[in-house]
């Protein structure tokens, strides 16, 4: 490749990476902004308009004849067409022309009935004779609503909607289901990488084969086994299930990384009389932290976002639901309440985002080292 082509290729790679980052960031940003908006704002404008004033048309009804007062021989009904923070741009008596009149104008809607809407939204309907209407007259208005963000959605979903309980259930499932496989896999990976024993190659080949086995084929047999052992539909059962499904990748990843560590360090420790456990605890484990962190990210994200395993091994009662299960219920029962769905969805992705950004520097290091050095 010529020297002149390299800068062009570099720019193309950088622009492609930037475009990918933008495409992945925009939906998350939109979800975050929508989680602070109410239902009307979400229905009337896009999330990118959340920080600018929006104009919309609506209608309100006046009071009825029961609300009329007689003042100086004239019957009067008064009220206001604006909500808090809104400003009036125009008003009318027809849905086709909601801005027919300017604030302060007066029009006659029936014989002897005069309607005035002031700039502050106060309306005054007058008649020389008593009103005879059981429903109020409609006043169509065009209003400008200032941008408004609220935290009420978060308070509602965490208390009334049960998301706080589901959040704690998800943490209770995810943290042990991430730690247990790492502990078991670290010991197994060290044995496969540095200890000599009969059948080691066969175990390694079996491990690679398990990576391609779909977990769905093991769900029912494993659930039956759990029920026979008396650990079905509980946290212990789901911890063991996630541990079993995550161990092949964990052992494979850590084994490749540990096998690439310098032989001189391990042999020197053995010459000095260190046992395998001492070598593992004091040398191999600290040096393998990038690989441990890489798998921890994968396992945490997978367990946190899991629905299938949680449904099978934990249950669907209100007290047992994890966040993905609660979101599934909300999609069915609250499909039109977008503010609730947006808030719940963002809470469900907030923790994985924090975990990923906190440990992302170890992710590439652990994966690349394991793939390059593995033998």
Which of 120, 145, 170 terminates a domain? The answer is 145
The model's confidence at residue 124, banded by pLDDT at 50, 70 and 90, is very high
DSSP, res 131: -
* Residue 274 within a domain: yes
Token pair belonging to 163: 């998301």
Any domain includes 315: yes
Residues 294 and 368 in one domain: yes
Q: Which pLDDT tens digit goes with each residue over 58-84?
A: 889 998 888 889 888 899 999 999 987
Q: Which long-range contacts (CB under 8 A, 24 or more apart) does 7-13 make?
A: none
Which sign does the torsion angle of CA 278, 284, 287, 292 carry? negative
Token pair listed for 39: 């239902």
* Residues above pLDDT 70, as percent of the chain: 94
Candidate ranges 223-232, 302-311, 356-365; pick with highest mean pLDDT: 302-311
99, part of any domain: yes
Query: For 351, what's the count of Cα atoms within 13 Å in the CB-facing half-sphere?
Result: 17
**Residue 81 belongs to some domain of the structure:** yes
Same domain, 192 and 330: yes
Question: What pLDDT is stored for residue 5 in this prediction?
Answer: 57
Q: Is residue 279 part of a domain?
A: yes
pLDDT at 368: 55
Residues 160 and 136 in one domain: no
Q: Is the pLDDT of residue 7 over 50?
A: yes
Give pLDDT, residue 261. Answer: 87
Same-domain pairing of 224 and 358: yes
Reported confidence tier of residue 90, pLDDT bands at 50, 70, 90: very high
Of 82, 113, 145, at which residue does a domain stop?
145
CATH number at residue 159: 1.10.3720.10
What's the whole-number average pLDDT of the chain? 85
- Domain's final residue, options 126, 145, 164: 145
pLDDT at 116 over 80: yes
54 or 334, greater pLDDT: 54
Flag whether 32 is in a domain: no
φ/ψ of 289, rounded to 5, equals -60, -40
325 and 368 housed in the same domain: yes
Is 119 a domain residue? yes
Domain residue limits at 76: 54-145
For residue 287, what are the contacts with CB-CB under 8 A and spacing of at least 6? Answer: 261
Q: Are residues 248 and 310 in the same domain?
A: yes
User: Average pLDDT for residues 145-163, to the nearest whole number?
Assistant: 84
In terms of domains, do 138 and 158 share one? Answer: no
The helix/strand/coil state of 145 is: strand
Query: In sequence order, what are the residues at sequence separation of 6 or more whose Cβ sits closer than 8 angstroms to the Cβ of residue 101?
Result: 90, 91, 92, 107, 117
Burial of 115 (0-12, 13-18, 19+ CB in 10 A): buried
Q: What is the pLDDT of residues 292-304, one digit of tens each?
A: 888 888 899 999 9
**Interatomic CA distance for residues 242 and 63, integer angstroms:** 62
Q: Are residues 182 and 80 in the same domain?
A: no
Q: What is the average per-residue pLDDT within 16-27?
A: 87
Q: Which residue has the higher pLDDT, 81 or 56?
A: 81
pLDDT at residue 366 greater than cutoff 80? no
Higher pLDDT, 309 or 335: 309
Same domain, 158 and 134: no
Distances (CA, A) of 187 to 111, 195, 254, 259, 280: 91, 11, 10, 13, 8
Considering the domain boundaries, does residue 5 fall inside one? no
| Domain identity same for 292 and 222 | yes
Q: What's the whole-number mean pLDDT along residues 199-228?
A: 86
Q: Which pLDDT score, from 0 to 100, does residue 91 have?
A: 93
At 114, give phi and psi (nearest 5°): -110, 135
Total structural domains within the chain: 2
Which of 208, 221, 211, 231 lies closest to 315, judged by CA?
A: 231
| Domain shared by 103 and 239, yes or no | no
Measured between alpha carbons, how far is 143 from 351 in angstroms, rounded to an integer?
39
Q: Which residues pair with 140 in a beta bridge?
A: 59, 92
Q: Decide if pLDDT at 373 tops 50.
A: no
Cα dihedral 187/188/192/197 (nearest 10): 90
Question: Which of 190, 294, 183, 322 lies closest to 243 in space, CA to CA?
Answer: 183
What H or E segment, with its residue span, contains residue 209?
helix 200-210
Same domain as 159, residue 140? no
User: For residue range 277-286, what is the model confidence (pLDDT) as tens digits?
Assistant: 899 989 998 8
């Amino acid at each position: 490749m010529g020297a002149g082509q390299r800068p062009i290729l570099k720019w193309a790679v950088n622009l492609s990476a930037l475009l990918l980052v933008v495409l992945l960031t925009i939906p998350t940003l939109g979800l975050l902004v929508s989680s602070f908006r109410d239902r009307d704002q979400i229905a009337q404008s896009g999330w990118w308009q959340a920080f600018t004033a929006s104009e919309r048309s609506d209608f309100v009804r006046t009071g009825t004849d029961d609300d009329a007062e007689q003042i100086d021989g004239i019957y009067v009904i008064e009220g206001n067409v604006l909500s808090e923070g809104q400003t009036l741009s125009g008003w009318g008596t027809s849905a086709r022309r909601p801005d027919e009149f300017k604030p302060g104008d007066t029009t006659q809607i029936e014989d002897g009935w005069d309607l005035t809407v002031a700039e502050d939204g106060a309306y005054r309907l007058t008649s020389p004779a008593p009103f005879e209407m059981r429903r109020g007259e409609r006043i169509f208005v065009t209003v400008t609503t200032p941008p408004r963000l609220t935290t009420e959605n978060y308070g509602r979903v965490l208390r009334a909607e049960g998301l706080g309980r589901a959040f704690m259930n998800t943490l209770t499932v995810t943290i042990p289901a991430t730690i247990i496989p790492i502990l078991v896999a670290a010991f197994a990976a060290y044995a496969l990488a540095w200890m000599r024993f009969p059948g080691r190659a066969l175990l390694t080949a079996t491990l690679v084969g398990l990576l391609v086995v779909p977990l769905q084929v093991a769900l029912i047999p494993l659930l039956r086994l759990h029920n026979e052992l008396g650990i079905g539909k509980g946290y212990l059962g789901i911890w063991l299930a996630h541990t079993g499904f995550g161990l092949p990748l964990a052992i494979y990843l850590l084994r490749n990384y540990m096998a690439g560590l310098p032989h001189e360090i391990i042999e020197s420790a053995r010459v000095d009389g260190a046992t395998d456990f001492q070598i593992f605890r004091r040398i191999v484990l600290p040096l393998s932290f990038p690989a441990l962190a890489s798998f921890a990210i994968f396992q945490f994200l997978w367990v946190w976002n899991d629905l299938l395993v949680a449904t099978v091994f934990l249950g669907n009662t209100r007290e047992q639901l994890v966040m993905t299960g609660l979101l599934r219920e909300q999609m069915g029962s609250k499909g039109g309440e977008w503010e609730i769905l947006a808030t719940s969805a963002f809470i469900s992705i907030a923790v994985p985002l924090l975990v990923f950004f906190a440990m992302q520097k170890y992710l590439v290091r652990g994966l690349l080292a394991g793939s390059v050095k593995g033998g």
